[in-house]
Amino acid sequence: MKGERRTAISLFTSGGIGDLAIRAAGYDILVSNELHEDRHAVFAHNFPETTAITGDVREHTARIVEATRERLDGRPLDLLYATPPCQGMSKNGRGKLLNAVRSGRKPAMDERNRLIVPTMTIARELRPSVVLLENVPEMEGTLIVDDDGELVSILDFIASSLGDDYVGRAEVVEFADYGVPQCRQRLITVFTRDERLKQRLEEAGSLLPRPTHSESGSEGTRPWVTLREALADVPPLDARDADSARHDTIPFHRVPLLDEMKSWWVSHTPPERSAFDNQCVACGHDGNPTHVARRNAEGINRASSTTPVYCERCGELLPRPSVETADGRRRLMKGFTSAYKRMSYDRPASALTRNLSYACSDNKLHPEEHRVLSLYEAFRVHTVDRYDHEWQRADGRKLNDKTVREIIGESIPPAGLETIVRFVTEVSGGLDRPDTLDRPWSDSTREPAAATVAN
Ligand SMILES: C[S@@+](CC[C@H](N)C(=O)[O-])C[C@H]1O[C@@H](n2cnc3c(N)ncnc32)[C@H](O)[C@@H]1O
């Protein structure tokens, strides 16, 4: 395999953000599948050489297998990359959930979790050297009903579907630990039938590279990359005014305007705090109770509903998120303590979600400026800017911001994934000469994202 590009297919491809990493690590994505046409059109624009099959994986299973065989033309399949949607995954522990379902306290399983079934059918048919799955950490505790109607954990289902040839492990990864300027935890599951990788798993107990970064920067790692570093040299914006809410020449460096009331709350929010904690601007009193959350009788964390919106000293309205009531007064807006909250400049960004442009969503405010992050900044924090990628659709139709936010919010930062895929590839012997690896899609001016560290 030396010097040659490897073969991969991608399931649940969305706009292909993870695929940027896989391609940069030396793989050709032969076939992709995604349900949503608008997302897949962005992938198709950036991966014109891939056979892109749009539609429900359950209906296209045979077609995906057939198209892959055709594209492989006798070569082996090196990697199956699959990222099934995570909305149906549960936070409960495996044992607890199993008991709850068996005793009838939990209803039937979420159908979305069963998307692993066609994924495994495809894996069984194509027998890739490596199966790499990415999902929320909760996947580890998720149960599904298998084809025999038995309730099994999703990870046991994967292992038994793949058969004895494969061994694997699921590990929770913090992407900031791979130098990504964003805290984002994901479950990375790697199953393999490659002998070197099997040996590696047996010896090291893991198929993932050792973290290059950590919060404290200790034990041979570098400190997490901060938002300040990630956004260095980005021109300021201000959501209070239409002219300053967008940059004239930097594409996507624009933010939604804030109305007068929201601007008032946001512009009085100190670094790392939520607007719900803002103090009095009329008399300067700074001892008004802040917004707290407590566990209720059912153990659910609930934000206080008694947080004041009028200053306890002078009675003036506080710049806290509030709504008008029938009597012309205002009451606290419903919101958690992390709503209208500024991210910290001195840490990686909070995990980007599809709500990244909404100030009212959790941890979405810029560390200092009066606004949320722009999409341009989101691309940097998500490391997409390091890859040759265009936010365009293959069909030439207009791409809306909502689709861009969904694609970002549901994907993982490619620089972190590239580190993982390069490591797996190197251990399996595919990167004996990594320096000669053709990386036409990566920006050669950036710091290499793929520093592989042996455990
Ligand atoms: C977690 S996202 C994938 C992220 C993607 N791999 C990336 O790197 O950007 C999951 C994707 O699965 C797609 N999906 C959901 N149900 C599907 C189905 N039945 N068949 C095919 N794709 C599906 C969703 O539309 C969504 O884009």
Closest protein CA for atom 6 of ligand 1: 13
Closest protein CA for atom 11 of ligand 1: 12
Decide if 10 is inside a domain. Answer: yes
What is the distance in A from the centroid of ligand 1 to the CA of 370? 33
What is the distance in A from the centroid of ligand 1 to the CA of 169? 22
Q: What is the CATH number of the domain that holds 141?
A: 3.40.50.150
Decide if 426 is inside a domain. Answer: yes
Nearest CA to 131 out of 11, 244, 39, 45 is that of 11
**Does one domain contain both 413 and 366?**
no
Nearest CA to 24 out of 449, 454, 452, 453 is that of 449
Per-residue model confidence (pLDDT) at position 138: 85
What is the distance in A from the centroid of ligand 1 to the CA of 50? 17
Gyration radius (Cα) of the chain, Å: 24
**Does one domain contain both 272 and 330?**
yes
What is the distance in A from the centroid of ligand 1 to the CA of 392? 18
**Does one domain contain both 111 and 214?**
yes
Total domains in the chain come to 2
**Residue among 12, 35, 47 to mutate when testing ligand 1 (max atoms within 8 A of CB):** 12
Decide if 205 is inside a domain. Answer: yes
Phi, psi (deg, nearest 5) at residue 229: -65, -40
Decide if 188 is inside a domain. Answer: yes
**Does one domain contain both 35 and 178?**
yes
**Does one domain contain both 61 and 87?**
yes
Contact predicate 344/368, CB 8 Å: no
**Does one domain contain both 197 and 246?**
no
Beta strands 213-214 and 301-303: pairing type? unpaired
* Residue where a domain terminates, one of 373, 390, 425: 373
**Does one domain contain both 208 and 261?**
no
For residue 126, the enclosing domain spans 6-223+409-436
**Does one domain contain both 110 and 206?**
yes
The structure's pTM equals: 0.89
Nearest CA to 209 out of 184, 230, 183, 179 is that of 179
What is the distance in A from the centroid of ligand 1 to the CA of 354? 14
Decide if 259 is inside a domain. Answer: yes
Q: Give the amino acid at 170.
A: A
Q: Determine which helix (DSSP H) or strand (DSSP E) holds 267, and give its type and residue range.
A: helix 260-267
Nearest CA to 254 out of 246, 263, 262 is that of 246
**Does one domain contain both 95 and 186?**
yes
Q: What is the pLDDT along the chain (455 residues), one digit of tens a residue?
A: 556 899 999 999 999 999 999 999 999 999 999 999 999 999 999 999 999 999 999 999 999 999 999 999 999 999 999 999 866 665 555 555 556 666 665 554 566 778 999 999 999 999 999 999 999 998 888 888 887 878 888 999 999 999 999 999 999 999 999 999 999 999 999 999 999 999 999 999 999 999 999 999 998 999 999 999 999 999 999 999 999 999 999 999 999 999 999 999 999 999 999 999 999 999 999 999 999 887 777 777 777 888 999 999 999 999 999 999 999 999 999 888 899 999 999 999 999 999 999 999 999 999 999 999 999 999 999 999 999 999 999 999 999 999 999 999 999 999 999 999 999 999 998 654 343 333 333 333 333 333 222 22
Ligand 1-lining residues (CB < 6 angstroms):
12-15, 17-18, 33-36, 39, 56-58, 83, 85, 115, 407, 410-411
Nearest CA to 187 out of 417, 12, 9, 399 is that of 417
Q: Which atom of ligand 1 is nearest to the CA of 112?
A: 16
**Does one domain contain both 101 and 58?**
yes
DSSP secondary structure letter of residue 339? B
Number of H helices, E strands in the chain: 12, 15
- How many Cα atoms occupy the beta-carbon half-sphere of 14 within 13 Å? 21
Decide if 349 is inside a domain. Answer: yes
DSSP secondary structure letter of residue 316? P
What DSSP line would sit under 36-64, residue for residue?
A: -HHHHHHHHHH-TTSEEEES-HHHHHHHH
Decide if 386 is inside a domain. Answer: no
**Does one domain contain both 149 and 32?**
yes
Decide if 65 is inside a domain. Answer: yes
**Does one domain contain both 270 and 350?**
yes
Per-residue model confidence (pLDDT) at position 320: 97
